Structure 1
Amino acid sequence: MSMLPTKSDILAWISEHPTLTAKRDIAKAFGIKGAARIDLKRLLKELESEGHLEKRHKTYRDPDRLPPVSVLQVLAPSRDGDLFARPLEWQGEGREPVVLVMPRASDPALGEGDRILARLQVVQAEDHNYEARLIRRIGSNPKKIVGIFRKTSEGGRILPIDKGADTEWTVAADATGGAREGELVEAEQAGPSRVRMGNPKARITLRLGDPSEPRAVSLIAIHQHGIPDDFPDEVLAEADSMKPAGLKGRKDLRDLPLITIDPSDARDHDDACYAHADDDPKNPGGHVIWVAIADVAHYVRPGTALDHEARKRGNSSYFPDRVVPMLPDRLSGDLCSLHEGVPRACIAVRMVIDSTGNKLGQTFCRGLMRSPASLHYQQVQAAIDGQPDAQTEPLLEDVLKPLYAAYGALREARERRQPLDLDLPERKIEFSDDGKLTAVNFSVRLDAHRLIEEFMVLANVAAAETLTARKTPLLFRVHEEPPPEKLETLREVAAASGLQLAKGQVLKTAHLNKLLHDAAGRDEVELINMATLRSMTQAYYSPANFGHFGLALRSYAHFTSPIRRYSDLVVHRALILAHGWGDDGLTPQDIEGLENTAQHISDTERRSMMAERDTTDRYLAAFLSDRIGAEFPGKISGIANFGIFVKLDETGADGLVPMRNLGNEYFHYDAASATLMGADTGTVISLGQRVTVKLIEAAPVTGGLAFDLLTLEDVEMPRGPSRGGPGRRRSGPPTGGGPRRKPAKARKKDAKARTKVKRRRTS
């Protein structure tokens, strides 16, 4: 007969194994079988009535929901042919939920016993609780191919678009997926990659349509820039073998209402926060702020296949229609995502600030949390503005308002510190359900966005200061001061706009902020913001600390996003080493290679930025491609010896007005002032001027836009026949009708006052 455990034994088990707390799990742990299960049930009910389990968020009685990404085992098809699956990590004590697999036409065939990674959606149906969409079959990772499909008499072939790829793939007649000649397709390997005769075989899994269509754009950029978008088999195998972390060796933070606040379409949640008033009488009006970050280091250990792949990628790459993650879905969308109602391992920092936002101290811990809510920015802001919904109403007084109170104090500290306050609207490209580009809008920044930003900045500073104090190596996020030549260019831009940037003193962000403030409300505001941004050096990672100029901080490190940045994983490992939390911290080999790691991940970050920028340019060109001949207002954003660049007001898209399209006269380029001057009328074209242009070309494949210049500063530009090139005089008398010609002295004075602007980078 099995011996019953004591109540203390049961509570200890539940505390140490929060993911294995169903009655059957407890029975299995203590070897309880048969009739003894009745006695176990009685003990559990007594513990519940005594309040022990309630103190632990009813770990035993309150079943956990399934995370949005889960491992499932496929069951035999039902009589109706439906495919159901059972969750392999169901943690609840109640009846196991029923999951219906919703296969797509491009999904591989699934059979009984297959283990799959799937994305789940809660549904209210009579015969199932969740619907699952296949991410991939576990243990199966066929090579992906992206290329142009060409029809043949036997089926077809695929010409890959990858850089340097010269292998063509053969597609059988029954594996084309209905692809048409010239379409961009995604396929998977359907046999050995090396064959003695002919080309290797592939099976088309997704038709992406015309290579110039919007849904194909980001995929082309991914391959052109060499961003790895397939995980090797051994990496997926490691990720799939991971189990949720328990409480052993961790601080129990499940009682803290650490909420996540993300975009409404976010699939992962790697940071959570909570704040409350400080009850220390020595800190009147102060606040305590908690920031908890997914403990990626627990799963991605130094020297493993996962670690090598994460370092190779350096970071996740974000495109308007897809994400290329640094970590596999099993981690990024599941075990390392702080989903609502699911126990998750974290590294948390408790920070104390005074009533004016000064940080008084911090304490880090390795914990286990359970978020009570996954919220989005608009939802949180609406609640604070007096329109809470069913989810935010219960959190308003005890969670949301204290967060905003702490943010108010941090905002005071920010105003004193004066970090660079650029106002650069973020474009948001929107798609329909079938992948068609429908709109290009500018994102609205809310206090909810700024709150999270300030909390994350504070946590990043706390990490850098803690590791520096403990003399533990780490990677700093470095942003150096602008070089003198770029500052001089910015001063000339300001002067051309009737503004002034302080000179002859040590530059501070406060000086730049004054310039930005003076430009606010003027036509030149966007010009000044862009010119200020261009004067900045690029931030990078370094094991040496050179400060962060833009944030006006002496010490700064990236700690808050280890799911998507390898730099943050390094900082987490450094914290583990500094606090002696385990054997998965920074190793001597890691420390020795920090310089190389810093250079590598700085390079991968730039690679992603270029791919993301190219993709945005192509999407904008695709969006505007059906508006050839339309007229648009904009501003001159760049000037070169071959024409002017114009930024459109409506979409923020940049395009070129070639020199031959500037009007019915020739323009001379003055490199010193970066201006153009009309040879006949003396018209001066300079940065920031308002223009109206006509779209004459939009090339989605390259992202290029070309315009005709119609008006300059609301004055119609004279039109005429094509000319031979800039600086060449045409015969015959000058043509009037343009802006009034200035005297020679005035023109010379204007030219000297104009800004010196480098040609806009297009690489």
Structure 2
Amino acid sequence: MAERPLPSKEELRRFIAAAPGKVGKSEISRHFGLSSDQRSALRALLKALQEEGSAMPAGRRGLAAPGRLPEMAVVEVFGTDPDGDPIARPLGWKPAQGEMPIVYMRPERPGQPALAPGERVLARLKNAGRGRYDGTTVKRIGSAPARLLGLYEEGRIKPVDRRHKAEWEVPAGSAGGAEHGELVLAEPLPGKPMGLRPARIVERLGRMGEPRSVSLLCIHVHGIPHGMPDAALAEAEAARGAPPEGREDLRAIPLVTIDGEDARDFDDAVWAEPTSGGWRLLVAIADVAHYVRPGSALDREAWLRGNSVYFPDRVVPMLPEALSNGWCSLKPGEDRGCLFTEITIDAAGTKTGHRFGRGIMRSAARLTYEGFESGEDPAGTRGALLGAYQALQAARDRRGTLDLDLPERRVVLDPAGQVLSVEPRSRLAAHRLIEEFMVAANVCAAEELERLGQPCMYRVHDRPSDEKLEGLRSFLATFDISLPPGDRVRPADFAGVLERVRGTPEERLVNETLLRGQSQAAYAPDNIGHFGLALPRYAHFTSPIRRYADLLVHRALIRGLRLGPDGLAEEEAARFPDTGEHITATERRAAAAERDAIERYLAAYMAHRIGDVFPAHISGVTRFGLFVTVEANGAAGIVPLASLPDDRWLQDLPRHALAGQRTGLRFALGQAVEVRLAEAVPRTGGLVFHLMQGLPPPKPRGARRR
């Protein structure tokens, strides 16, 4: 019988790529019916595939598709998922192998100690699709040297994380060229029985106090991915404008973007017109799904980041700048692909219908919140936009949403990166207008996906837990305010509480206490509604440039409405539960990093005002002291218990207060106080204050000590 011909390179590539793990020459020979005499020719063919990068070595004699991990590999733990389970990466991964896979290490046998960041294990791996693997530990190998981030001064490293107190010593020859005052990354060296622990500097990050040093520090402290892989950058650079074919032409409609003055990417545009019974709205969103396809390098990096992170001096974007500030930015006068929803509402703001489509648009104007507020109207749509907003706001008021009045802060920097001021961020009608249009579009997206029977990545917000509700009831009872019993509490009940205390001395205290009593919002494929917005279903649709959740909603709509071949893939739909947990964690990580940056900028700003006295209010009460927030700029710090007047201080948990048994002094959450700044540490963002109440007045500056 004649020998079967050798497979072509393309046939071999397809076979190796389809295999769940590694394959050897025996499996290939059996599949293609090759004889032993053809082994030599097959070996040469497989070697050629390896040389051109179409196959990678796996194990002693196996092969796998590029980027594919073998069934057994050494991995290193580098973090945890939202459930606390370890996340690992393959050891020794090279950029030539493609995008680095992520390994989710599943729990070991009960009673085994958990894997910690830096630990290395031999793991059995199971491919879970899209560069992700499930791993189980076969053998623990050891730990990689943990890295520490700090400020290098006089042969020592001072940690920048306020939770870490101990300094490290840098032996001679281990400074790596670092200079005094530089931020550095270091690895521990074998320790000494006594004295400071030694460390070796492995990376210099710039001088503390230089422009961008604060945000760079926060990026490293919080583990924010910030270096964009070459493959993702190449895909973004190769992008071109979305073709108009197959899209609805919206270019004649004067859609406008309304953003902050410093915004660089514009991913949503709005338009409205009156109808006989209400309003017709159009919300158009950048068509990111056209450029970021499932399984691409751009998609893997966007999933890993989960969202963009915003600092006062820079943005760490979810997508490369060629997309986020380029083809996915709805710049005025330029054609852009979009997904849109057309919404009709009646005069009372109740939705009467909606439809979704894929379009081509051309923004008529780029407006700022301040400009719109002052009357700018280059597209002639301001009146209709305001009319539609007022109707939507009326519907929101009827729902009774939870609208806590907690001002945000804006850090203003000079060209050298120094803090000029820290100001409350203005809250204009234009901000609320865009919010209401986006909320309306997000509700429509969730409803449409349910109608289509498609998976949806909901934005969910649970009601407060029973424990927190009981705490809130006890607190509000001190003001003779009650909440409905059991689980019958609705957002409108909290809105009523806020309205009752509006304009009273207790207003801030009640606002802050209600905020502490709420659950955190999250992403999940299982809908429990959005308590704060008083909505039964809600999804994020309006910011796919900066949030991965929105991109998934776009893909699901594209698949369900058959708007193109780049819709949601089955395997990514199957991973919605894991993805929801992951992007919830990245969102909270980003919020922590952004908050940390503002605190460090504030500490640097306040460091020049040691000894000054500020009006403030108590923003936290603990058994070891008070937290206070300065009214003028939002700087927050601690008042140590030891700095309070000598007394026996008891914590009153229901009333969020500290009470002195002998002095009769009482300090409660929200209380107005005067504080003197005692210490400011820009390196950690820490501020220490002393209360003026109950203390002798400070000596004038320059007074002689006796």
Same fold by TM (over 0.5)?
Answer: yes
After TM superposition, what 4+ stretches of structure 1 lie above 6 angstroms from structure 2? 145-152, 158-163, 199-202
Deviation at 1:288, TM superposition (A): 0.6
In structure 2, distance between residues paired with 1:631 and 1:200: 40
Amino acid at match of 2:660: G
Deviation at 1:618, TM superposition (A): 1.3
Query: Contact conserved, 1:479 with 1:548, CA < 8 A, in 2?
Result: yes
Amino acid at match of 2:236: A
In structure 2, distance between residues paired with 1:706 and 1:503: 41
Deviation at 1:444, TM superposition (A): 1.6
In structure 1, distance between residues paired with 2:688 and 2:201: 42
Amino acid at match of 1:705: L
In structure 2, distance between residues paired with 1:221 and 1:214: 13
Match of 2:358 among 352, 363, 366: 366
In structure 1, what is the equivalent of residue 207 of structure 2? 209
Query: Contact conserved, 1:149 with 1:180, CA < 8 A, in 2?
Result: no
In structure 1, what is the equivalent of residue 535 of structure 2? 553
Q: Which stretch of the first structure deviates more once superposed, 348-357 or 614-623?
A: 614-623
Amino acid at match of 1:438: L
Aligned length: 531
In structure 2, what is the equivalent of residue 723 of structure 1? none
- The correspondence of residues 485-634 of structure 1 with structure 2, limited to 5 A, is 485-497=467-479, 499-503=481-485, 506-634=488-616
SS at 1:339 equivalent: coil
Q: Which whole-Å deviations, capped at 9, do the CAs of 1:353-411 have from their partners, x for residues lacking one? A: 1111111111111011011111101101111xxxx4xxx3x43xx31111111111111
Deviation at 1:691, TM superposition (A): 1.3
The verdict on how the C-alpha distance between 1:338 and 1:185 changes in structure 2, with shifts beyond 3 A counting, is farther
In structure 2, what is the equivalent of residue 266 of structure 1? 263
SS at 2:679 equivalent: strand
Unaligned residue ranges in structure 1 (runs of 5+):
1-144, 187-198, 279-283, 721-763
In structure 2, what is the equivalent of residue 473 of structure 1? 455
SS at 2:387 equivalent: helix
In structure 2, distance between residues paired with 1:148 and 1:241: 39
- The correspondence of residues 576-725 of structure 1 with structure 2, limited to 5 A, is 576-671=558-653, 674-711=656-693, 716-717=694-695
In structure 2, distance between residues paired with 1:161 and 1:531: 30
In structure 2, what is the equivalent of residue 239 of structure 1? 236
In structure 1, distance between residues paired with 2:502 and 2:637: 25
Query: Contact conserved, 1:664 with 1:719, CA < 8 A, in 2?
Result: no
Q: Which whole-Å deviations, capped at 9, do the CAs of 1:446-503 have from their partners, x for residues lacking one? A: 1111110000000000000011011111100000100121122222332334544444
| TM-score, reference length from structure 2 | 0.70
SS at 1:315 equivalent: coil
SS at 1:552 equivalent: coil
In structure 2, distance between residues paired with 1:630 and 1:247: 62
Query: Contact conserved, 1:276 with 1:287, CA < 8 A, in 2?
Result: yes
In structure 1, distance between residues paired with 2:181 and 2:659: 46
SS at 1:707 equivalent: strand
In structure 1, what is the equivalent of residue 437 of structure 2? 455
SS at 1:302 equivalent: coil
SS at 2:310 equivalent: strand
In structure 2, what is the equivalent of residue 381 of structure 1? 373
Amino acid at match of 2:299: D
SS at 2:295 equivalent: coil
| TM-score, reference length from structure 1 | 0.65
In structure 2, distance between residues paired with 1:508 and 1:572: 31
Query: Contact conserved, 1:261 with 1:272, CA < 8 A, in 2?
Result: yes
In structure 2, distance between residues paired with 1:554 and 1:474: 14
Amino acid at match of 2:357: C
Deviation at 1:672, TM superposition (A): 6.0
Query: Contact conserved, 1:467 with 1:578, CA < 8 A, in 2?
Result: yes
Correspondence 1:307 to 2:305: no
- The correspondence of residues 32-431 of structure 1 with structure 2, limited to 5 A, is 181-184=180-183, 208-210=206-208, 215-278=212-275, 284-383=276-375, 388=376, 392=377, 394-395=378-379, 398-431=380-413
SS at 1:465 equivalent: helix
Deviation at 1:538, TM superposition (A): 0.6
Q: RMSD across aligned C-alpha pairs, in angstroms? A: 3.2
In structure 1, distance between residues paired with 2:243 and 2:325: 18
Amino acid at match of 2:182: E
SS at 1:647 equivalent: strand
Q: Which whole-Å deviations, capped at 9, do the CAs of 1:103-154 have from their partners, x for residues lacking one? A: xxxxxxxxxxxxxxxxxxxxxxxxxxxxxxxxxxxxxxxxxx99889899xx
The verdict on how the C-alpha distance between 1:146 and 1:286 changes in structure 2, with shifts beyond 3 A counting, is farther
SS at 2:520 equivalent: coil
The verdict on how the C-alpha distance between 1:403 and 1:628 changes in structure 2, with shifts beyond 3 A counting, is same
In structure 1, distance between residues paired with 2:515 and 2:412: 26
Query: Contact conserved, 2:271 with 2:385, CA < 8 A, in 1?
Result: yes
In structure 1, distance between residues paired with 2:301 and 2:640: 44
Query: Contact conserved, 2:483 with 2:489, CA < 8 A, in 1?
Result: no
Deviation at 1:159, TM superposition (A): 12
